């Protein structure tokens, strides 16, 4: 009888010791993990790009500013804003002549349509997109955006590469793109007419 009690107590004792050791290992490993910080430079496939606030002087351009101003200030959005050069090259919009009174309404219509194609109603930082995988989100207009990350940590959205990523404006995350995100129908509508009479 005494022997059975000793065996039961030793099994219980070993179980308690193993449980305490496992708990200690878990606690030590949790406290030893490096903190993920945006200030730390991490090399390799998990490189972190620093988030920055976007100032009025930032290189998102006048049309990018117009796009951001159309969104509510207190809601989280991600906007893939075309660069100044992309607006000129792909949409033939220029700041000088497009903001004249008679062209202002047309310019706002085009910019608001581009906003519908390139804004996602949630925050999406470049660090949340995994390397080697493609994620997709629906934009405000229902246009599907296929997003991946290249070797430099820059985002590629519908085969258009970003120039700058993770810029911040209030609750809005801004990625400056080297092209304009739009569907085929709108792209045909803004293409130059090359027919000559």
Q: Domain 52-190: which topology?
A: FAS1 domain (2.30.180)
Looking at every residue in the chain, the average pLDDT score rounds to 78
Domain assignments of the chain as residue spans, ordered by start: 1-33, 52-190
Is the pLDDT at 34 greater than 60, yes or no?
Answer: no
**pLDDT, tens only, 75-124:** 899 999 999 888 888 888 877 654 544 556 778 888 999 999 999 999 99
pTM: 0.65
Query: Alpha carbon of 102 to those of 90, 97, 169: distances in Å?
Result: 21, 10, 30
Task: Give the SS3 label for residue 31.
Answer: helix
Q: How far apart are the C-alpha atoms of 197 and 52, rounded to whole Å? A: 51
> Is residue 173 within a helix (H) or strand (E), and if so which, with residue range?
strand 172-177
Is the pLDDT at 148 greater than 60, yes or no?
Answer: yes
- Judge whether 71 and 165 are in contact, CB under 8 Å: no
**Which residues 6+ apart lie within 8 Å of 162 measured at CB?**
80, 126, 154, 155, 156, 175, 176, 177, 178
**pLDDT, tens only, 167-177:** 988 889 999 99
pLDDT of residue 48: 41
Torsion of the alpha carbons at 18, 21, 22 and 27, rounded to the nearest 10: 160
- With cut-offs at 50, 70 and 90, classify the pLDDT of residue 11: confident
- The residue that leads in pLDDT, 154 or 91, is 154
- With cut-offs at 50, 70 and 90, classify the pLDDT of residue 24: confident
- Judge whether 69 and 75 are in contact, CB under 8 Å: no
């Amino acid at each position: 009888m005494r022997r059975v009690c000793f065996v039961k107590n030793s099994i219980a004792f070993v179980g308690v010791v193993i449980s305490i050791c496992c708990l200690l290992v878990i606690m030590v490993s949790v406290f030893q993990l490096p903190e993920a910080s945006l200030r730390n430079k991490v090399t390799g496939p998990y490189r972190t790009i620093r988030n920055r606030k976007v100032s009025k002087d930032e290189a998102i351009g006048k049309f990018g500013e117009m796009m951001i101003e159309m969104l509510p200030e207190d809601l989280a959005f991600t906007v893939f804003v075309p660069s100044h050069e992309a607006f000129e090259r792909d949409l033939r919009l220029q700041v000088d002549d497009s903001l004249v009174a008679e062209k202002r309404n047309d310019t706002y219509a085009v910019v608001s349509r581009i906003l519908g194609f390139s804004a996602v109603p949630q925050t999406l930082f470049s660090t949340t997109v995994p390397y080697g995988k493609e994620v997709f989100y629906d934009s405000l207009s229902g246009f599907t955006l296929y997003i991946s990350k290249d070797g430099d940590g820059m985002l590629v959205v519908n085969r258009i590469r970003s120039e700058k990523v993770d810029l911040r404006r209030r609750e809005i995350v801004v990625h400056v793109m080297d092209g304009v995100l739009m569907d085929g129908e709108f792209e045909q509508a803004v293409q130059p007419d090359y027919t000559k009479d």
